[in-house]
Amino acid sequence: MPTAVRSKSFIALALLPALLLFVVFVIIPIFWSAYYGVFEWKGIGASRFIGLDNYREILQDHIFWRALKNNLILVVSAIIGQIPIALLLALVLLKNSFFSRFIRSAVFMPMVLSTVVVGLIWGYIYHPQFGLLNTMLEAIGLDSWTHAWLSEPNINILAITIPINWSNIGPYMLIFIAALQNISPEIHDAANIDGARGGRKLFNVTLPMIWSTVVVTMVLCISGSLKAFDHVMVMTHGGPAQSTELLATYMYNNTFRVYRYGYGSAVSTIIMIISALLIGINYLLTRRKAE
């Protein structure tokens, strides 16, 4: 066996590169953005210490609240859209038949596309003049239902939730299939003997068995929805009139369009805090439910 000294040097040499890269590019920036957040700085020239003014300004900026509201709409639409649909698909496609394998592949397919491509395709689908959605509505005589999907405030953020959900259901479905396959057949037998069927079996047996997975998917939905950026950047840039602004696009536009680095950093820090809060709240809520 090697001497302690030799394994110590192995530990250090094998772990340090990963640790260093991770700390420099992931951990330090978090603290650095909190630090930059207390300055007013245009990216060049001198920065001026202004204490918590940036944070105060953010909290009074109605665009920030609009962005937060839009992000929360995405969170809710992910939790009530992606999770139930994915769970339903998983329950039906659990069997390993050719048919269910085919459907699974189809459902997962959008996931491998770049978010930019998803955004662009759906941007065209929503196009007011020649978009697939409006021409389809006109073809079936529902002319009054047509909209300028991405430019009408209040409709547009809902329109944006569709492509996001469309491309994210696949992975959640796979997670649920894996969890369902882990339930031992004896539990199904026991439930059948007790006469549990359909909905009752789902809510009293299956769901509690995979509850921890449901919680994990909720956390993934929350953190995923707070990360949303690409689709909106490609489809609307956050407009028109900032009606589709999200926290991340708000951060981006403030930093890289109007060059307020300090302000953008403060927004970054707030995104961090909000994620932590939401994940914490979800943890508390779902834990109580499980007990």
Partner 1 sequence: MELRTTQATGANLDSHNRKLVKKGLSGLGKLVLIGYAIFTLYPLYWLFISAFKTNEDFFNRPYALPLVWMRENIFRAWELGKMGKAMFNSTFVTISSVILTLILGILAGYVLSRFQFRFKRVAVSLFMAGLLIPIHSTLVPLFLMMKEMNLLNTYGALILPYTAFELPIAIFLAMGYMASIPREIEEAAMIDGSGWWGVFGRVIFPLCTPIVATISILAFLRFWNDFSFALVFINSQALKTLPLSLALFSDGFGTDYSLTMGAMAIAVIPTIVVYLILQDQIMKGMVAGSIKG
Of 115-134, binders to partner 1 (CB under 8 A) are 115-117, 120-125, 129-130, 132
Of 51-70, binders to partner 1 (CB under 8 A) are none
Selected binder of partner 1 within 147, 188, 201, 227 (CB under 8 A): 227
- C-alpha–C-alpha distance, residues 116 and 114, integer Å: 5
The nearest distance, CB 118 to partner 1, in angstroms, is: 8
How far is CA 218 from each of CA 189, 231, 260, rounded to the nearest angstrom?
A: 29, 21, 34
Selected binder of partner 1 within 38, 58, 67, 89 (CB under 8 A): 89
The nearest distance, CB 252 to partner 1, in angstroms, is: 7
Q: Does 287 bind partner 1 (CB under 8 A)?
A: no
Residue 49 parent element (H or E): strand 48-49
The nearest distance, CB 234 to partner 1, in angstroms, is: 6
Contact 62, 68 (CB under 8 A): no
DSSP symbol at 40: E
Of 170-189, binders to partner 1 (CB under 8 A) are 170-171, 174-175, 177-179
Both tokens of residue 232?
A: 């909106």
Residue number, 145 or 256, with CB nearest to partner 1: 256
Both tokens of residue 82?
A: 């992606």
Contact 245, 70 (CB under 8 A): yes
Q: Does 211 bind partner 1 (CB under 8 A)?
A: no
Of 14-53, binders to partner 1 (CB under 8 A) are 14-15, 17-19, 21-30, 32-33, 36
Residue 159 parent element (H or E): helix 155-181
- C-alpha–C-alpha distance, residues 258 and 207, integer Å: 48
Q: Does 105 bind partner 1 (CB under 8 A)?
A: yes
